[in-house]
Structure 1
């Protein structure tokens, strides 16, 4: 598993920049305690103050001819439709994703411009392919193909977003005219016809100078605070720059034309949302089956187990208990890697199915409305870390007890790497559902419980994880203070390289894709300190079910002119790091947060917008949480 073998998935990738540094950036107070920071794409330059904020992005653009609506020669492997009446009868109507993100079929909302089918179960879905086809620019873009990639170096220890990304306060490195080149040391924005003007100079990131009815686009920004917690606003620095560019004959005679009014700003529809999983989409509500695996091995002491219990309660309490189509929206189960471990109890040193798949209320042992996951956890860890066995057993429980119309997720929480077999019970392991009596038996895996992870143990764990992901089950992971492995492999130069433990979990175990060479950093939460585990529990809940437990939360829908009003009021729109907590919450240095902005010009717009132009910048303003209340004006 050398550096050269690690790739990145194209979808759900923006969060990777922050996820690689989760919990690794200290919240020092230093000299930046009272300073503010303005990050904007104003004049093609990102400007910053002393409190550092990193921003990366991926932008998409679509027009009717691109997908063959007005071009019968277009050759696509999938068939988007303009309205739901045109969808094939053999497909699930709920499986069609509306575009641009932020539109839907509800009342008083912009109608979708088209729909793409997201119900197929292939490794690359129609929506995946659509996102690749419409990606026009990103930063960083190592492959210069319009889709965001994360530098491979950041997959390894001691690097995070604040190390890898350029300092946006430095005019030498933050100019948007800095492009990716063939030189691997130069990493910048995409270099193509969409990011340059005809004379070769740098174009603005959102450049709407020749918009036609039916055109639409979207950009998702990924934000990363460095050094200190901060409040965050989304802004439109300078507001709209509008130009009517004279009047063409059709425009002058159009019924909707008003003298000295740039009607384009009133016809373009926009949406802004919290993009929890950073995939450039507004994800809809879905049924969710979660099988959690808790590492309860001997390396975990009693006080650490208490923190795990508290974080587990926070996670369960965060999840919604509402219903979809008469069924629980979320169902969950729990598997521990080892049994209770108390003297005299049975099975102290093998996986135990503590709870089969069931409603969240099964974790409320005393029926007081709060989760009591501790009733299913030992007081102190014991035994080894049979990770492939636990993953295999979790898979088998999900396959048997999970719902066919629900997203299935395994959540792995561990403070170590695979290390097995002990002198206790032999493998394969069998677990029993305490409620139904159903039993599940894992496959047999080779290994030794010697306190270190061998290459065999890593390979077996990675292989079973790939099989699980290939069957459509997602794996999210939390690694707590994970060290290096004892396994070494040769790189392309023949040098022995020790595999980093968090890299192994991130790139071989967790993720959505079955490829062993794919890293999906936002599917793995790297925690350096148990004290951060409770915050991470909410982050995972937010990623799975969204803010306010209603999916990804829409901040705004309206015209571009109305968006200007929202984003130019004071510091801009005040963003909230946790929408499920009363009051506005600060953004933490170890957290990655994404925000989407989409726009569209409806098909039925008349000639009154024919020569209009609208220019604007999207920016972020942040200020130090300590000594500030999030209310003062931008400076």
Structure 2
């Protein structure tokens, strides 16, 4: 302060100069890290067993494939009074209060509770993981709580003389697999190195006038997807504006596909319908189309469809997308910028949250195409072995450290033990995104009478920690 002396009152004031600044209303509010789950359980138990399975407690069980005897045992969420669950999640997110009420925390839930399991039976549990608000590291954990021999039948007594609690052979006989189920379909899609199927892929790219400032970003994203694919993939490039063009027929030459992408230029209206029908025709009838290959279409748009093949402006590409899906084509959609997210989500295959990507900027567009490329290239296996072996790993420390970025080279299991969680190649999981983990089991057909009357009980769970101020090494509690 200055002017503290009042001598010389002729200066016109006797008050001290003063000033006060303050930071008011300070507060600290704890953030949130909430791990929510939804799941689907399937059972391959032989035809004609629906009523028997419902009697095991699966009141809402449904037949998926009557001839093969595949059943949908249970699934969450129970959407209740939300008529369009996919649209609700698109608008509000999984962390919205009403959405949370329909997901689960996993407490006191036993998705797998089967009786009379026979050699050749198998099943799958796929779990969707949703983090709210903050990035986090996630571990899969569990334990074998019972492995019992519940009496000796005459056939079993000839090959097995053990009986009682902890004496069962079932845990050592059941084969299991854990993997990142990228499209959340409860089916392991092996990569090329592990005998994955051939795949024909159509990129359907928007080159309308509204893309004039974003073509470079689109080209980088699309070429990045091509680079993700393995040698078992063939790619076709289709683009659309007022009409659609087949820019590159199906080819296993990645350089040719990327050259076609580089040659695209923007201008015209948005005929998504034409792009879908052109891509469908090439996937199914093209010169290099393979009848035994998986068929996948990736449709990208940055606006609303405003013209169709008839040029009358009554454009709704959802019917064409439905036709493609009915022909066995798996359809991914990517919304960019001001795209019509409602239409693109309706076009995507089920589950929509695993097949629809909303990219708000160039980085998210590149990430979306990269993620789809990883999915197409094949899903990453985390573990394969017996149930007893799996449970032994899951009950070690925090369990198996999961990787939020499957493009990295992180190995979740090292030497039969959980790998170091703080490895530089492990990444946390981002919030407000869907990440699915698959767990499948099978009692092989060559298992003998030694497992008769045996039973197993096991727990499977997930543990999450915030990523901030954390290296992923896990809990010390």
The 5 Å alignment of 1:157-236 reads 157-163=90-96, 164-166=98-100, 174=105, 204-207=110-113, 211-236=117-142
> Residues 585-622 of structure 1: CA distance to partner in whole angstroms, max 9, x if unpaired?
33222432222212233455455544543222111122
The question of whether the paired residues in 2 share the 8 Å contact of 1:309 and 1:373 is answered with no
- Is structure 2 residue 414 aligned with structure 1 residue 576? no
Corresponding residue SS for 2:318? helix
Residue number among 160, 164, 167 corresponding to 1:256 in the alignment: 160
Q: Which runs of 5+ in 2 are unaligned?
A: 1-27, 51-62, 191-195, 410-424
Residue number among 233, 240, 248 corresponding to 1:355 in the alignment: 248
The question of whether the paired residues in 2 share the 8 Å contact of 1:210 and 1:613 is answered with no
Residue number among 341, 354, 358 corresponding to 1:502 in the alignment: 341
Q: Which residue of 2 aligns with 1:409?
A: 296
Q: Which residue of 1 aligns with 2:368?
A: 536
Quote the Cα distance in structure 1 between the aligned partners of 2:261 and 2:44.
50
Quote the Cα distance in structure 1 between the aligned partners of 2:364 and 2:92.
19
Quote the Cα distance in structure 1 between the aligned partners of 2:343 and 2:69.
27
Quote the Cα distance in structure 1 between the aligned partners of 2:150 and 2:278.
69
Corresponding residue SS for 1:535? helix
> Residues 78-115 of structure 1: CA distance to partner in whole angstroms, max 9, x if unpaired?
xxxxxxxxxxxxxxxxxxxxxxxxxxxxxxxxxxxxxx
Q: Which residue of 1 aligns with 2:318?
A: 462
Quote the Cα distance in structure 1 between the aligned partners of 2:451 and 2:174.
10
Aligned length in residues: 412
The 5 Å alignment of 1:297-446 reads 297-302=208-213, 304-320=214-230, 322=231, 329-338=232-241, 351-363=244-256, 375-378=262-265, 381-398=266-283, 399-401=285-287, 402-420=289-307, 443-446=309-312
Q: Which runs of 5+ in 1 are unaligned?
A: 1-28, 33-49, 69-125, 144-148, 178-202, 323-328, 339-348, 365-370, 422-442, 448-455, 484-500, 513-518, 547-551
The 5 Å alignment of 1:443-522 reads 443-447=309-313, 456-458=314-316, 461-482=317-338, 501-507=340-346, 509-511=347-349, 520-522=352-354
Q: Which residue of 1 aligns with 2:87?
A: 155
Quote the Cα distance in structure 2 between the aligned partners of 1:542 and 1:557.
20
Quote the Cα distance in structure 2 between the aligned partners of 1:289 and 1:611.
46
The question of whether the paired residues in 2 share the 8 Å contact of 1:256 and 1:606 is answered with no
The normalised TM-score by structure 2 is 0.75
> Residues 308-359 of structure 1: CA distance to partner in whole angstroms, max 9, x if unpaired?
2221222111111x2xxxxxx2121223324xxxxxxxxxx65444333223
How far is 1:252 from its partner? 8.6
The question of whether the paired residues in 2 share the 8 Å contact of 1:408 and 1:474 is answered with yes
The question of whether the paired residues in 1 share the 8 Å contact of 2:137 and 2:427 is answered with yes
How far is 1:176 from its partner? 5.6
Cα separation, partners in 2 of 1:373 and 1:536, compared to 1, 3 Å:
farther
The question of whether the paired residues in 2 share the 8 Å contact of 1:235 and 1:568 is answered with yes
> Residues 529-579 of structure 1: CA distance to partner in whole angstroms, max 9, x if unpaired?
333111111221122222xxxxx3332222221111111122111222333
Higher mean displacement: 284-293 or 252-261 = 252-261
Cα separation, partners in 2 of 1:393 and 1:30, compared to 1, 3 Å:
farther
Cα separation, partners in 2 of 1:209 and 1:387, compared to 1, 3 Å:
closer
Quote the Cα distance in structure 1 between the aligned partners of 2:293 and 2:122.
31
Cα separation, partners in 2 of 1:63 and 1:384, compared to 1, 3 Å:
closer
How far is 1:377 from its partner? 2.9
The question of whether the paired residues in 1 share the 8 Å contact of 2:37 and 2:105 is answered with no
Quote the Cα distance in structure 1 between the aligned partners of 2:383 and 2:299.
35
- Is structure 2 residue 202 aligned with structure 1 residue 270? no
The question of whether the paired residues in 2 share the 8 Å contact of 1:571 and 1:634 is answered with no
How far is 1:469 from its partner? 3.4
Corresponding residue SS for 2:210? coil
Quote the Cα distance in structure 2 between the aligned partners of 1:244 and 1:471.
47
The normalised TM-score by structure 1 is 0.58
Quote the Cα distance in structure 2 between the aligned partners of 1:457 and 1:60.
38
The question of whether the paired residues in 2 share the 8 Å contact of 1:271 and 1:554 is answered with yes
Quote the Cα distance in structure 2 between the aligned partners of 1:219 and 1:131.
18
Coordinate RMSD, CA, aligned: 3.5
Q: Which residue of 2 aligns with 1:38?
A: none
Residue number among 504, 523, 546 corresponding to 2:355 in the alignment: 523
Quote the Cα distance in structure 2 between the aligned partners of 1:175 and 1:288.
36
> Residues 373-426 of structure 1: CA distance to partner in whole angstroms, max 9, x if unpaired?
662233xx43211222232333344423333332333321111111138xxxxx
> Residues 52-73 of structure 1: CA distance to partner in whole angstroms, max 9, x if unpaired?
22211111234457469xxxxx
How far is 1:209 from its partner? 6.3
Quote the Cα distance in structure 2 between the aligned partners of 1:318 and 1:464.
27
How far is 1:154 from its partner? 3.9
The question of whether the paired residues in 2 share the 8 Å contact of 1:411 and 1:476 is answered with yes
